[in-house]
């Protein structure tokens, strides 16, 4: 019935047995290293394209933009393997009547726990102590006097699945005051999500640690520039586990070097992975990981299940569970109904 093409792999292997239960659908793998003409020979008749969510893992011709869509005229839906959709041009998809879906919430626990772990390590100054010991340090323990998270003020940018989970942990496990900025939620809803709605500037100036959990978009690109970072409370920490390009790496480096910020936990980068000589990697008060916050066995299997079942539901004529470009739905529903009747 439907031709489902996936790039390299689903988030975990459990997606394929789920899809195999519906043998009427053709499921085809393409390889990022294959000749692009070969890939588009397959994509030309595809009705769904399951794509890797990390942009640096997707060759530019296989990122879904206007040019891609002209070469895949039968496409009805493109699906991200995670919550991020920066490998898709949302405007181009909407113009072409193509629905974009993601697996939002599938990795919420993994990323929230990772962000929390980075917070605790920075507050306790573990990265600095670890590196000092490896260099032969033999000083006083008070050289690495840290702070407790208990009772501190935590700022969260974006109170979706991940931000909401992190707010709950900080509020209930550590008795933190949680300030949050999310222009798409009202104060009442944010209260239900264990946070107090404030302005972006109030989060920056009021929080001991700020954690970023918003998607990368035109609205959020370079949101944390030199001016914004300069508004953060002196001695605060910044956690970035959402997407690269939301924070300005050069501005963050300068704020850390100058002592304005006490530390940063970075899981996402402008270029992934960062080169070994990246300036931020030279700082002892920075803890890093290579975009692995959401990469746990539990989260990957959950996202794979979400992806496979959502595609099956779509081709069963059901409403998508996690649509992204919702403006396209009226046009898309006509297209998919035509396909199902045909």
pLDDT in the model for residue 342:
76
Could you report the per-residue pLDDT of 229-271, keeping only the tens digit for each?
999 999 999 999 999 999 999 999 999 999 999 999 999 999 9
- Domains (ranges, CATH) in the chain? 3-105+297-341 (3.40.50.720), 108-288 (3.40.50.720)
Separation CA 8–CA 11 (nearest Å)? 10
Weakly modelled stretches of the chain, pLDDT under 70: none
**Strand-pair category, 177-181 with 77-80:** unpaired
The SS3 assignment for 153 reads strand
Peptide bond into 228 cis (omega under 30): no
pLDDT in the model for residue 185:
97
The SS3 assignment for 78 reads strand
Catalytic residue among 291, 300, 302, 305: 291
pLDDT in the model for residue 219:
93
pLDDT in the model for residue 55:
83
Angle of CA points 277, 281, 282, to nearest 5°? 80
CB 11 within 8 A of CB 81: yes
> For residue 75, which phi and psi values (nearest 5 degrees)?
-65, 130
pLDDT in the model for residue 56:
85
pLDDT in the model for residue 34:
96
CB 81 within 8 A of CB 15: no
Catalytic residue among 260, 272, 301, 322: 272
| Residue 177: Cβ within 10 Å count | 16
Is 291 in the active site? yes
pLDDT in the model for residue 86:
86
Find where tokens 């006509």 sit.
334
Q: What percent of the chain has pLDDT over 70?
A: 100
- The pTM assigned to this predicted structure is 0.90
pLDDT in the model for residue 73:
96
pLDDT in the model for residue 323:
97
Bridge partners of 261? 236
CB 100 within 8 A of CB 330: no
Is 243 in the active site? yes
Q: Which of 6, 25, 96, 10 is nearest to 340 (CA)?
A: 25
Is 60 in the active site? no
Average pLDDT, the chain: 96
List, in sequence order, the alpha helices (H) in the chain: 15-20, 36-43, 66-70, 90-95, 108-123, 126-134, 161-174, 187-192, 200-206, 226-231, 249-258, 297-315, 329-341
DSSP state of 271: S
pLDDT in the model for residue 236:
98
Catalytic residue among 213, 243, 278, 302: 243
pLDDT in the model for residue 66:
97
């Amino acid at each position: 019935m439907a031709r489902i093409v996936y790039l390299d792999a689903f988030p975990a292997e459990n997606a394929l047995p789920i899809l195999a239960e519906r043998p009427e659908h053709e499921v085809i793998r393409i390889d990022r290293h294959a000749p692009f003409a070969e890939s588009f020979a397959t994509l030309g008749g595809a009705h769904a394209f399951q794509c890797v969510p990390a942009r640096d893992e997707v060759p530019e011709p296989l990122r879904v933009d206007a040019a891609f869509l002209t070469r895949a005229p039968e496409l009805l839906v493109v699906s991200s393997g995670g919550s991020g959709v920066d490998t898709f041009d949302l405007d181009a998809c909407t113009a072409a009547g193509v629905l974009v879906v993601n697996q939002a919430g599938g990795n919420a626990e993994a990323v929230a726990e990772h962000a929390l772990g980075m917070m605790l390590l920075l507050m306790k100054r573990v990265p600095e102590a670890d590196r000092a010991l490896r260099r032969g340090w033999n000083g006083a323990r008070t050289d690495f006097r840290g702070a407790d998270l208990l009772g501190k003020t935590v700022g969260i940018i974006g109170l979706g699945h991940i931000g909401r989970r992190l707010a709950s942990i900080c509020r209930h496990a550590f008795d933190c005051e949680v300030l949050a900025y999310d222009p798409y939620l009202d104060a009442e809803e944010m209260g239900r999500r264990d946070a107090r709605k404030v302005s972006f500037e109030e989060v920056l100036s009021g929080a001991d640690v700020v954690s970023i959990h918003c998607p990368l978009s035109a609205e959020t690109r370079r949101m944390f520039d030199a001016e914004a970072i300069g508004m953060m409370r002196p001695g605060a920490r910044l956690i970035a586990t959402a997407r690269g390009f939301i924070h300005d790496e050069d501005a963050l480096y300068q704020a850390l070097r100058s002592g304005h910020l006490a530390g940063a936990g970075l899981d996402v980068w402008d270029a992934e992975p960062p080169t070994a000589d990246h300036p931020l990697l030279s700082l002892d008060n920075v803890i890093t990981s290579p975009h692995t916050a959401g990469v746990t066995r539990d989260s990957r299997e959950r996202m794979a299940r979400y992806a496979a079942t959502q595609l099956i539901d779509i081709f069963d004529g059901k409403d998508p569970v996690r649509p992204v470009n919702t403006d396209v739905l009226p046009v898309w529903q006509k297209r998919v109904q035509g396909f199902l009747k045909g």
